[in-house]
Amino acid sequence: MIQLYLTLIGARVRSQMQYRVSFWLELLGFLLVTGLEFATIAILLGRFGSVGGWGLAEVALLYGLTSFAFSLAEMVGRGFDSPFERMMVMGAFDGVLARPLGAFFQVLTADFQLRRLGRTAQAALVLAYAFSQIPIVWTPDRLLLLPVTVLSGFLIYLALIVIGATFCFWTTTTPEVINVFTFGGEQMASYPLSIYQEWLRAVFLFLIPVGFSNYPAALYLLGRADPHGLPAWSAWLAPLAAAVFFGAALRFWRFGVSTYASTGS
Amino acid sequence: MALIEVENLQKSFSRPVRRAGRLGALRGLLAREYVTMEAVAGVSFTLEAGAMAGYLGPNGAGKSTTMKMLTGILVPSGGRIEVGGLVPHRQRVAHVRRIGVVFGQRTQLWWDLPTIESFELLRHVYKIPMARYRENLKAFSELLELGPFLDTPVRQLSLGQRMRADLAAALLHDPAILFLDEPTIGLDVVARERIRGFLSEINRERGVTVILTTHDLSDVERLCQRVVLIDHGRVIYDGGLDQLKTRHGRWRTLVVDLADASCAPLVEMADLVRQEGPRAWLRFDRERTSAAALIAEVAARYPVRDLTVEEPEIEAIVRGIYERGVGVI
Ligand SMILES: Nc1ncnc2c1ncn2[C@@H]1O[C@H](COP(=O)(O)OP(=O)(O)OP(=O)(O)O)[C@@H](O)[C@H]1O
Ligand SMILES: [Mg+2]
């Protein structure tokens, strides 16, 4: 399966790389545009000094973690965006179901945007800045938590993309409302979860767990306590939250596929 | 047990009703009303391995919908399908591994990749052994003359080339059954003929069972011994093509191009059904009148420049059956 994934993705990337210059320009574009996103946060913090007791370097840690995860999800999951939407409008999803592979797998391999590494690079730079400013004691568990958190965040964002796409089975086009969750989730996770109202915190930890893409992990790395009593070990719940959420997204997707009505003719 | 068994198959679609006016649209958003339409309303038939069957009917009869259920793409609303012992929509992956699918209206190939790369990817997708893949590719390249455009991206192919590429792609993994939904749509006579030749060859030589929909009677005539005719989602005829034609398709039309546009060709053995300038359409019953006799008669009495006999369109036969019923001849 992984072999096949790489083969199919390889074909995509190769055809994208045919236009080498535009590839690098787009990659650079993503780096700069998402760089502006962080710049906005930095300017805001420059004015107020800190948000919820978090200084710029600490917010950079939050932002870097979630942006890194988000960039991976966008790179891998873009097949669920416009390619899938196109499939639904043009009835090409028929072809997907006529092949001996899972529908999820095939839509996933319908696109792979390597140029989204622009955002990954930006996130890495922001993280590097954060680590240079914050004296984190790098114990093995903290080192391990880093990839665990990023991967969990990646799965959570990917699940969000899949859930948004699934609505296509009933509306044919991805409703904009899902962007509220993906982009909105990414934006809101750029600030410490502690500043939000209780119900919002609950939503973003237990319903749409984007909070797990960074907040508990950041607390753990900083050795800081949550003012609302979120225990330190909750950082290790991220993979669980991600797995449950991704599983739910997958089930929702399967349900969508089973109601697929195709198009006429 | 037959290879394909379909029993009381049904599929209904529900569509939101649009309401007029601005308020109507708003109301529609809040509480949608649906109408249900039965695209397939209780179809039953069986098909033996090795057969080549035409699944025919007028526009909107439910042909494509049936094909999509047979290929596991759509989940039926009711009834039973079994193809080679598998239920298509439940055991979709195992099922589609053993079938090939071509939808004339759209390609199954990777739009922006060269044709050969699409084939390569299919080799991976279906896990076709390399030797077998090479063998098949070579055979299909020859039969369908794919060579000249193997390196062309699929989006740049002409309709005829694309259809041939799609056919080859559907057969690379040696499927037992080939489902074709309008495989000759939009093609010229030469391209159609090539595809027909190819289909009859793979049916004969490789024993692939073929089920196809088409609006072109000559496809059916060339390829199918067996036809299933549907209308409004129901089977209205199931049997041999020959019986269908002798029982329901006895009307022929002789198209006459006259040298002189001013006269109307009136003969006793046929009805003048239409005339446009020098061209006239004469309908005759081929059980009472032979085409040869009619042609001789017309040619003897009028200055004729050209003559053609039009076969009855499958649509006309279907319409006839639908209006008069199957039992009535
Ligand atoms: N996805 C869909 N949603 C709603 N209605 C549909 C859908 N697909 C088909 N239908 C309706 O079902 C009926 C049968 O359609 P189908 O495409 O099976 O006809 P067909 O026999 O293939 O016709 P044609 O010869 O025009 O291709 C039509 O009335 C069509 O409008
Ligand atoms: Mg159709």
pLDDT of residue B26: 63
Ligand 1 neighbourhood includes B61 CB (under 6 angstroms): yes
Q: What is the mean pLDDT of chain B?
A: 87
Ligand 1 neighbourhood includes B15 CB (under 6 angstroms): yes
Q: What is the DSSP letter of A20?
A: H
Same structural domain, B132 and B230: yes
Q: How far is the CA of A92 from the centre of ligand 2 (A)?
A: 14
Same structural domain, B121 and B138: yes
Residue B272 has pLDDT above 90, yes or no: no
B119 part of contact set with chain A, CB < 8 Å: no
Q: Residue A208 falls within a domain, yes or no?
A: yes
Q: Which atom of ligand 1 is nearest to the CA of B233?
A: 14
Residue B323 has pLDDT above 80, yes or no: no
Same structural domain, B70 and B149: yes
CA-proximal residue: ligand 1, atom 6 (nearest): A264
Same structural domain, B59 and B43: yes
Instruction: Report the pLDDT averaged over residues A194-214.
Output: 93
Residue A50 has pLDDT above 90, yes or no: no
- Taking any CB pair shorter than 8 Å as contact, residues of chain A touching chain B are 3-4, 7-8, 11, 15, 90-92, 94-95, 97-102, 258-262, 264-265
pLDDT of residue A54: 92
Contact call for A100 and B113, based on CB within 8 A: no
Select from B12, B59, B64, B75 the residue to mutate for testing ligand 1; criterion: most ligand atoms less than 8 Å from CB: B64
B87 part of contact set with chain A, CB < 8 Å: no
Residue B249 has pLDDT above 80, yes or no: no
Q: What angle do CA B259, B265, B271 make, to 5 degrees?
A: 140
Contact indicator for B107, B185 with CB cutoff of 8 Å: no
Q: Residue A229 falls within a domain, yes or no?
A: yes
Distance from CA of B289 to the nearest CA of A (A): 39
Same structural domain, B177 and B262: no
pLDDT of residue B95: 96
Instruction: Report the pLDDT averaged over residues B142-167.
Output: 93
pLDDT of residue B329: 38
B96 part of contact set with chain A, CB < 8 Å: yes
Per the structure, the complete domain to which residue B289 belongs is given by 250-310
Contact call for A98 and B73, based on CB within 8 A: yes
Higher pLDDT, B138 or A52: B138
Instruction: Report the pLDDT averaged over residues B99-103.
Output: 94
Same structural domain, B207 and B279: no
Same structural domain, B193 and B147: yes
- Which of the listed residues B245, B261, B278 is the one where a domain comes to its end? B245
pLDDT of residue A119: 93
pLDDT of residue B326: 56
Domain count, chain A: 1
Residue B310 has pLDDT above 90, yes or no: no
Contacts of A6 in chain B (CB under 8 A): none
Contact call for A98 and B124, based on CB within 8 A: no
Residue ranges in A1-112 assigned as alpha helix (H): 2-17, 20-48, 56-77, 82-90, 93-97, 103-108
Same structural domain, B126 and B211: yes
For residue range B197-240, list pLDDT tens digits in order: 999 999 999 999 999 999 888 888 889 989 999 989 999 889 98
Helix axes A140-166, A215-222, angle to 10 degrees: 170
Distance from CA of A205 to the nearest CA of B (A): 31
Same structural domain, B293 and B148: no
Contact call for B124 and A7, based on CB within 8 A: yes
Domain count, chain B: 2
Residue A150 has pLDDT above 90, yes or no: yes
Ligand 1 neighbourhood includes B104 CB (under 6 angstroms): no
DSSP string, B157-188: S-HHHHHHHHHHHHHTT--SEEEEESTTTT--
Q: How far is the CA of A105 from the centre of ligand 1 (A)?
A: 28
B71 part of contact set with chain A, CB < 8 Å: yes
Instruction: Report the pLDDT averaged over residues A94-98.
Output: 91
Which of B13, B35, B68, B167 is the mutation pick for testing A, counting most A CBs within 10 A? B68
Same structural domain, B211 and B258: no
Contact call for A101 and B110, based on CB within 8 A: no
For residue range A155-174, list pLDDT tens digits in order: 999 999 999 899 888 886 66
Per the structure, the complete domain to which residue A175 belongs is given by 2-258
Q: What is the DSSP letter of B53?
A: E
Which of B94, B103, B117 comes nearest A11 by C-beta? B117
Q: Who contacts B124 (Cβ-Cβ below 8 Å, separation ≥6)?
A: A3, A4, A7, A8
Q: Residue B319 falls within a domain, yes or no?
A: no
- Percent of chain B, pLDDT > 90? 51
Contact call for B73 and A102, based on CB within 8 A: no
Q: Residue B315 falls within a domain, yes or no?
A: no
Task: Average the pLDDT over each of A171-175, A206-210, B181-185 and give the range with the smallest value.
Answer: A171-175
Q: Residue B149 falls within a domain, yes or no?
A: yes
Query: Of the segments A181-190, B12-21, B311-320, which one has the largest average pLDDT value?
Result: A181-190
Contact call for B124 and A264, based on CB within 8 A: no
Q: Residue A264 falls within a domain, yes or no?
A: no
Q: Residue A111 falls within a domain, yes or no?
A: yes
Q: Residue B325 falls within a domain, yes or no?
A: no
Same structural domain, B142 and B259: no
Q: What does the CA dihedral B245, B251, B257, B261 come to, rounded to 10 degrees?
A: -160
Ligand 1 neighbourhood includes A264 CB (under 6 angstroms): yes
Same structural domain, B63 and B170: yes
- Domain of B156, CATH number, reads 3.40.50.300
Residue B24: pLDDT band with limits 50, 70, 90: low
Residue B67: pLDDT band with limits 50, 70, 90: very high
- Which of the listed residues B192, B215, B245 is the one where a domain comes to its end? B245
Q: Residue B105 falls within a domain, yes or no?
A: yes
Q: Give bridge partners of residue B86 from the DSSP assignment.
A: B83
Q: Residue B254 falls within a domain, yes or no?
A: yes
Helix axes A20-48, A56-77, angle to 10 degrees: 150
Instruction: Report the pLDDT averaged over residues A47-62.
Output: 91
d(CA A252, CA A250): 5
Contacts of A90 in chain B (CB under 8 A): 106
Higher pLDDT, A96 or B26: A96
Q: Give bridge partners of residue B229 from the DSSP assignment.
A: B56, B237
Residues with CB under 5 A from ligand 2 (ion): A 265; B 63-64
- Which of the listed residues B245, B263, B298 is the one where a domain comes to its end? B245
d(CA A215, CA A203): 14
Ligand 1 neighbourhood includes B325 CB (under 6 angstroms): no
Q: Residue A206 falls within a domain, yes or no?
A: yes
